[in-house]
Structure 1
């Protein structure tokens, strides 16, 4: 009798354990109905700042010898991304490697790679929920004596304020005294709805600027100045 009762107890315990595993594996139920994940539960990332790393891939941008603008833009963009996120300002990068955004554009039917590149950058400002666009670039001119940062902005007051904040912090970092300018002919500044600026971080055609922009430690200082300008803008507009 004892052996029969013990076997029955073990069988019951095994049954209860099996039932518990089934409950754990089954979807949660409410009022007898199985719950399902909503069909629109996936979303694009959202952030405060969309960092546009200019050029990339086949598009090297401005050059000086073997120095390519696209590499400088990406290096500073990656540092800016890490700085902003570490400071509690969510940011996203539109490229994190050496590739052309025109290659991702399958919707804009155009033979012009340049047009596909720009339209893809602009489209991302619609797809990704952000409050501002900061596009990083490096300047070039035949006059090798020209140097220093320049921030271009839209006609809107918010964009102009963002440009003034970033220009001020870059001026202090590079010991210059330049003013931002409205960039009327630039596609992104005309087409993007959010406050947007193009940050020309220096001149690749100027030896001093080029040395600064290719030095990882100095790139971090440039990125920190831009991050400080963004924080100042956010403090003023809070």
Structure 2
């Protein structure tokens, strides 16, 4: 729980600083970039919990906010999961399971 609060505070601080820098870099500073965000966990593996607070829910909410902020700045953002379900692998015809980055040709991969 404390880690979640620290992460949210850090993202909020970054967001506030980034808003101040938009004039210098422009609102489309990330235009044409594709970023993959992986909130991890999900499905039957919800991670740590305390009462009704579940790690997978916190990380998903956090990543959804980061996605909104990045899209405001022009990035295309892919989430490895957007619900509480597990991320599903996409099999290729040859049976290979490449990474999300390889499948989507992302410019940046963030994994918790």
Q: TM-score range by the shorter chain?
A: 0.5 to 0.7
CA shift digits 1:116-162 (9 cap, x unpaired): xxxx6x62111011111112xxxxxxxxxxxxxxxxxxxxxxxxxxx
Counterpart in the other structure of 2:36: 50
- Answer whether contact 1:47 1:92 (CA < 8 A) is retained: no
Counterpart in the other structure of 1:134: 110
Counterpart in the other structure of 1:99: 85
2:84 partner SS: coil
Counterpart in the other structure of 2:52: 66
Q: How many residues align?
A: 76
Q: Displacement of 1:79 after TM fit?
A: 0.7
CA RMSD of aligned residues (A): 2.1
Q: Which has the larger radius of gyration?
A: 1
Unaligned stretches of 5+ in structure 1?
1-45, 108-119, 136-197, 199-238
Q: Displacement of 1:90 after TM fit?
A: 2.3
Shift >2 Å, 4+ stretches: 104-107
Q: Which has the higher contact order (CA 8 A, sep 6+)?
A: 2
> What TM-score results when the alignment is normalised by the length of structure 2?
0.59
Cα 1:106–1:80, aligned 2, differ >3 Å: closer, same or farther?
closer
Higher relative helix content: 1
Counterpart in the other structure of 2:20: none
1:123 matches 2:107: no
Distance in 1 (alpha carbons) for counterparts of 2:69 and 2:110 = 14
> What TM-score results when the alignment is normalised by the length of structure 1?
0.29
